[in-house]
Homo-oligomer: A and B are copies of this chain.
Amino acid sequence: MALGRALGCAARRFSAAPAKEWLTEDFLNSLRAIVGGPNVSTATVVREQHGQDESMHRNCPPDAVVWPQSVEQVSLLAATCYSRGVPVIPFGTGTGLEGGVTAVQGGVCVNLTKMDQISELNPEDFTVAVEAGVTRKALNKYLRGNGLWFPVDPGADASLCGMVATAASGTNAVRYGTMRQNVLNLQVVLPDGRILHTAGQSRRPRKSAAGYHLTGLFVGSEGTLGFITQATLRLHGIPEATVAAICAFPNIRAAVDSTVQVLQAGLPIARIEFLDEVMMGACNRYSGLSYAELPTLFLEFHGSQQSVEEQVGATEAILQSNGGSDFAWAREPEARGQLWAARHNAWYAALALRPGKKGYSTDVCVPLSRLPEVLLETKKDLLDSNLTGPLVGHVGDGNFHCLLVLDPEDVEEKERAAEFAKRLGRRALAVGGTCTGEHGIGLGKRQLLREEVGEVALSTMRQIKMALDPKNLMNPGKVL
């Protein structure tokens, strides 16, 4: 795992690291010629800002950071680095959680946030195109007034193309799908600088059976196959009505059983989130609330007024039959925001359990029927391991996070957490699940990926990587 023995930067691992022959003033001038002088930086503070994401992976700064403003510039940057054998790392908002942007071999970090154009909005077709730097909140602000929204919500205000790169999902996925279901086309700069349109330039049919599904291959490729410079996304109509709810349960199984029954009843629930009693306690303390400190579901219903009321009624009956209590409902935007505040602030509430410490989130996803046992075993393991880690889950998808709060200076505790996270990953694999539902493999889960997919799948992934990036320059050291 990433924590105890996080992979150091290559330069640090080998005491006699070779000098980077490519890192010359001439090379930097060629970058400046492409993006303009002020858009190239080798300042230490800038490089360190780009050497890590929000995870606890060690900071490995790139040798230079550049800010292109167009796909043509990204293409020239890629070609320049390719011809000189320089590693390149795409960088969006830096909100990843698996060390995806750390420059383990140094190289040039390509910060894409200055490419922030939104174009080709087609309300009748529910499609829009966003450049690499557009965040999900910026897109939803842009869409306001059109009756449309983009529902995939991983929590952070991440860039949408970064969300493509990690196959992000989050709280709305149970109803609207993950990024995989909401991307129609991608513009990608390949490692050698050629510009690829995964479904053909300007194409946006709702479905296609034309050739290999390159779009699907780049979703979740974590920057290792190319730069995702534009995404054509599928939009959704803003629902006429939204109702939010929370409900407490006597135990974890009752909460999960309720979730299964809601889904089996075909109720088109938009969000169904689980917080364990530790998490609820943390939320109460962090936000001055007084919720029951019990396993709790946070729910949201989208639809017409009538269908939402019907969903609410049917869901309430299911929750009650499983011992649900302490119901709270909210219909107006402000009240819904207040009700869900505990869920939205979960990460900060967890961190506040140990002020001054840092957070690390696990990310397993298992078949729903196995979720109760995995949750219970994980809670026992947490206690046995003497770790602080409230649980929060996208329970409708069988995906949950253990928000470990750790002392970054305590090597022994980090080692203990790493062992815990490894056991949790293997516990998920043992019941047919995955070690990552939505955060990706990045640096820390490469061994678990091997165990998860097996040698034949891993070698097939390697063949694809070799075919598309033969010099291994695109975000090297990640995923495989």
Q: Measuring CB to CB, which residues of chain A are less than 8 angstroms from any residue of chain B?
A: 122-127, 147, 166-169, 173, 177-178, 180-181, 190, 194-214, 216-217, 219-221, 225, 236-237, 239-240, 260, 263-266, 268, 303-304, 306-307, 310, 314, 363, 365-369, 397-399, 428-429, 432-441, 445, 449, 452-454, 456-458, 460-461, 463-468, 479-480
Contact A441 B209, CB 8 Å, known A190-B460, A266-B239, A460-B214: yes
Q: Which residue of B lies closest to A237 (CB)?
A: B266
In the assembly, what is the distance between CA of A126 and CA of B262, in Å? 13
**Contact between chains at B468 and A460 (CB < 8 Å):** yes
In the assembly, what is the distance between CA of A397 and CA of B209, in Å? 13
Contact A468 B457, CB 8 Å, known A210-B449, A437-B205: no
Q: Which residue of B lies closest to A261 (CB)?
A: B124
> Which B residues are in CB contact (< 8 Å) with A397?
205-207
> Which B residues are in CB contact (< 8 Å) with A457?
196-200, 211, 214
Nearest-CB distance from A124 to chain B (Å)? 4
**Contact between chains at B439 and A209 (CB < 8 Å):** yes
In the assembly, what is the distance between CA of A281 and CA of B369, in Å? 51
**Contact between chains at A438 and B365 (CB < 8 Å):** no
Q: Which residue of B lies closest to A306 (CB)?
A: B310
Contact check: which of B205, B366, B453, B479 meets A433 at CB < 8 Å?
B205
11 A-B pairs in the complex with CB atoms less than 8 angstroms apart: A125-B398, A203-B432, A203-B452, A205-B428, A205-B433, A205-B437, A206-B368, A209-B440, A237-B265, A464-B464, A464-B467
> Which B residues are in CB contact (< 8 Å) with A220?
209, 211-213
In the assembly, what is the distance between CA of A460 and CA of B200, in Å? 12
Contact A167 B197, CB 8 Å, known A205-B367, A468-B460: no
In the assembly, what is the distance between CA of A4 and CA of B398, in Å? 52
Q: Is the interface of A mostly helix, strand, loop or mixed?
A: loop
**Contact between chains at A173 and B207 (CB < 8 Å):** yes
Nearest-CB distance from A370 to chain B (Å)? 8
**Contact between chains at A203 and B369 (CB < 8 Å):** no
Nearest-CB distance from A146 to chain B (Å)? 10
> Which B residues are in CB contact (< 8 Å) with A398?
125, 205-206
> Which B residues are in CB contact (< 8 Å) with A369?
122, 124-125
> With contacts A208-B437, A210-B445, A237-B265 known, what are 19 further pairs, Cβ within 8 A?
A167-B208, A169-B207, A169-B209, A177-B181, A190-B460, A199-B453, A199-B457, A200-B434, A200-B457, A203-B452, A205-B398, A206-B367, A209-B438, A211-B452, A211-B453, A211-B479, A216-B217, A217-B217, A306-B310
In the assembly, what is the distance between CA of A180 and CA of B63, in Å? 40
Q: Which residue of B lies closest to A369 (CB)?
A: B124
Nearest-CB distance from A358 to chain B (Å)? 22
Nearest-CB distance from A307 to chain B (Å)? 5
Contact check: which of B169, B445, B454 meets A197 at CB < 8 Å?
B454
Contact A240 B217, CB 8 Å, known A197-B456, A432-B205, A453-B197: no
> Which B residues are in CB contact (< 8 Å) with A211?
220, 441, 449, 452-453, 457-458, 461, 479-480
**Contact between chains at B264 and A456 (CB < 8 Å):** no
**Contact between chains at B452 and A205 (CB < 8 Å):** no
In the assembly, what is the distance between CA of A350 and CA of B456, in Å? 47
Q: Which residue of B lies closest to A446 (CB)?
A: B211
In the assembly, what is the distance between CA of A207 and CA of B310, in Å? 28
> Which B residues are in CB contact (< 8 Å) with A240?
266
**Contact between chains at B367 and A122 (CB < 8 Å):** yes
Q: Which residue of B lies closest to A126 (CB)?
A: B263
Query: Which one of A169, A212, A479 has the greatest number of beta carbons of chain B within 10 Å?
Result: A212
Contact A368 B203, CB 8 Å, known A210-B453, A212-B461, A441-B210: no
> Which B residues are in CB contact (< 8 Å) with A452?
200, 203, 210-211
Nearest-CB distance from A333 to chain B (Å)? 18
In the assembly, what is the distance between CA of A362 and CA of B395, in Å? 43
Contact A468 B461, CB 8 Å, known A304-B314, A454-B200: no
Nearest-CB distance from A439 to chain B (Å)? 6
> Which B residues are in CB contact (< 8 Å) with A147?
264
**Contact between chains at B195 and A178 (CB < 8 Å):** no
In the assembly, what is the distance between CA of A72 and CA of B268, in Å? 41
In the assembly, what is the distance between CA of A461 and CA of B442, in Å? 25
